[in-house]
Structure 1
């Protein structure tokens, strides 16, 4: 690291509290400074190139430095750099984006509420659902059901919906109104005698038993990612979503689809709900909505949710919720252009095609002694590392092998993310066949390094 980079790093160590980072360890090691990005690559402050195989945070659909998105932001900054949507005000970018999202939705949706992040979107839909049930005279119908290993964000309510221990420990979470059912990971939690369909039956029965135990009149909504992302890239077992939806309908429980990672082509369809045949009452989108060039998210609700909210706001004289940047014109303009590019360049179909290629190539590692499972859908995947393939035994302690592989991948110019001992892949939708091969090659180098290191530790 040169002197200039070290000065920047020292400033970060002193002044920035980094998310998902060991703060004390970070003070010792300092940050990896990313200076610029181009296509699927990012470059550190010393000029080294890395394939960004996680699309940043599952989000940079169009890669880095897309000129059309840059121009869309610049043009809107010159015209109307900011205005709010409070008190009945509006502007063209957010109005057009709302129309576009309603048109794109795979099931009928009525209204769109804009937020700045997926976490805020999850908070917002919880408030709207509670508001709705109060309007309907159902003040007890407030509990929310999520799943272990789910990821819905990090604000107080969205972190409560999240089913990951690190988002709860030390924060006094989850909040009381949130309940969690089992994680739908057939490889890890299916019984030896069960088919995927039988496993799905068991999970649906677990949900129904929880509802009956708590009282259906106290349960407001079920939250789920079509495919679970940050919890390990977990693909639902066959028939899972059909059976979960049937239970929700039976007991008048709203279904909220968190499309923050899945939306806009990631699973090989425009939305994960299309891939897995889900019919939600509300959809939450962010990340690939703007390729993360601007912070923006959206809550889509159907008429079943909207009508009581509208009546209640009329009675009270206002809907007392909103953010300064709700429907920000620059973010909205960038999101609109981002969606245009995804459609014009047929990137949803490309994600399906390149995803199939990526899964085919990753599948070749199922014979590797450290690889237990290769899973995913579309252009998102994970390779789970195990200490014993026959028993699916985890490494002890968990996470060390995955972290070592991720470090070796970075050494080889390949940024991935270990989720425990599962190695995640989520390259931009613009990734080419040749670039998929580069990802596979660098993964193989890192995997070979990891096997040698692991064997040396066991010797």
Structure 2
């Protein structure tokens, strides 16, 4: 098909995410037809450097035959089976073991989904279940940040602090509140130092906990650095103070590593770059380098153990732990590890 034919069909039938469809259809979509390494080609033959790595996800680059071969072999052998009904399969077992190796000490258990949005929905379920089995079901509030991004489902969109998303949502999840972001270059006052600003923004968490009552607060969630909000790196004082406050008031600390995970900052996970220790980690994107959809939540032993020991966790998705996605993720992690990609960032 020609570019004009592709654009006409796209305009006739395809609703794009986060787009003004009227304006897009008038201008016409750019049709991407091929990719290799760091390059894309469009339907007019233009070669383009992909500075976004897809959507912050193609961590090993395009055209990796190892990932295509892993998918092909798995599709031939076991294209799908669920992980409900007391069943499992080798790819998800191998992936879980590999994730336990590359995540920080204490992360030995993983729940699988299909995206970062679903991962953050899952976090809310895990956090609620943890406090329920710990005998503190009143701990329901989750604190997030304005201009944070945690996905586009109702729960993820509520967790995120982006007003333009909230305006188009029919409702929001209860017990989610926000504090200010640690954006020094955009929001600091004259005379502020980065260190003082970072501490002040982190201490908003303590003020919000005291306002709500620590006995009612379940968790704080944040991206180690804000991605969709503008690639905002907090001052060095921010995350250590956040962790101190969470530990002081018995609040779970959740790192949304959907963008930062799998080497983007030169560590396996961005929270390692900032020097804090979360209780739960959301991951997706770089888990498979975007070759197939997959997400996961890493659960620290101190949170996983009570949940495991107290009956059924009533949450899951048809494609939780999809065997093809898991096989691709295993191959992807091997590339990141064996080629020293993380260390070279």
**TM surpasses 0.5:** yes
Write the distance in 2 (CA, Å) between the matches of 1:172 and 1:211.
27
Write the distance in 1 (CA, Å) between the matches of 2:336 and 2:156.
28
**Shift in Å at residue 66 of structure 1?**
1.1
**1:263 corresponding residue in structure 2:** 261
Deviations 1:23-79 (A, max 9, x none): 221232231111111110111111111100000100101111211111111111111
Write the distance in 1 (CA, Å) between the matches of 2:290 and 2:213.
40
Write the distance in 2 (CA, Å) between the matches of 1:173 and 1:206.
26
8 Å CA contact 2:147, 2:162 repeated in 1: yes
**Shift in Å at residue 173 of structure 1?**
5.2
Write the distance in 2 (CA, Å) between the matches of 1:123 and 1:28.
35
The counterpart of 2:333, out of the listed 339, 347, 350, is 339
Q: Which has the higher contact order (CA 8 A, sep 6+)?
A: 2
8 Å CA contact 1:159, 1:173 repeated in 2: no
Aligned to 2:107, the other structure's residue is in SS state coil
- 2:39 matched to 1:27? no
**1:349 corresponding residue in structure 2:** 343
**Shift in Å at residue 305 of structure 1?**
1.6
**2:203 corresponding residue in structure 1:** 205
Aligned to 1:90, the other structure's residue is in SS state coil
Aligned to 1:42, the other structure's residue is in SS state strand
- 2:48 matched to 1:50? yes
**Shift in Å at residue 344 of structure 1?**
1.4
Write the distance in 2 (CA, Å) between the matches of 1:303 and 1:227.
25
8 Å CA contact 1:59, 1:288 repeated in 2: yes
Write the distance in 2 (CA, Å) between the matches of 1:170 and 1:331.
32
**1:156 corresponding residue in structure 2:** 154
8 Å CA contact 1:107, 1:279 repeated in 2: no
**Shift in Å at residue 95 of structure 1?**
0.7
RMSD: 1.3
8 Å CA contact 1:161, 1:174 repeated in 2: no
**1:188 corresponding residue in structure 2:** 186
Aligned to 2:218, the other structure's residue is in SS state strand
Write the distance in 1 (CA, Å) between the matches of 2:186 and 2:2.
47
8 Å CA contact 1:255, 1:282 repeated in 2: yes
**Shift in Å at residue 221 of structure 1?**
0.5
TM-score (norm 2): 0.97
Aligned to 1:222, the other structure's residue is in SS state strand
**1:297 corresponding residue in structure 2:** 295
Deviations 1:165-224 (A, max 9, x none): 222122145433111111101111222222222112211321111110111111100001
Write the distance in 2 (CA, Å) between the matches of 1:309 and 1:67.
39
Larger gyration radius, structure 1 or structure 2 = 1
* 1:215-294 paired onto structure 2 within 5 Å: 215-294=213-292
**1:113 corresponding residue in structure 2:** 111
**Shift in Å at residue 304 of structure 1?**
2.2
Aligned to 2:110, the other structure's residue is in SS state strand
- 2:144 matched to 1:143? no
Write the distance in 2 (CA, Å) between the matches of 1:107 and 1:257.
15
* 1:390-409 paired onto structure 2 within 5 Å: none
Write the distance in 2 (CA, Å) between the matches of 1:255 and 1:150.
15
**1:306 corresponding residue in structure 2:** 304
8 Å CA contact 1:106, 1:273 repeated in 2: no
Write the distance in 1 (CA, Å) between the matches of 2:60 and 2:282.
20
Extract unaligned runs of 5+ from structure 2.
none
**1:38 corresponding residue in structure 2:** 36
Write the distance in 2 (CA, Å) between the matches of 1:339 and 1:13.
37
Write the distance in 1 (CA, Å) between the matches of 2:237 and 2:326.
36
Write the distance in 1 (CA, Å) between the matches of 2:171 and 2:190.
34
After superposition, the Cα gap between the structure-2 partners of 1:311 and 1:106, relative to the gap in structure 1 and judged at 3 Å, is closer
- 2:171 matched to 1:177? no
Write the distance in 2 (CA, Å) between the matches of 1:92 and 1:84.
12
Write the distance in 2 (CA, Å) between the matches of 1:72 and 1:189.
47
Aligned to 1:110, the other structure's residue is in SS state strand
Write the distance in 2 (CA, Å) between the matches of 1:212 and 1:290.
40
**Shift in Å at residue 154 of structure 1?**
0.4
TM-score (norm 1): 0.73
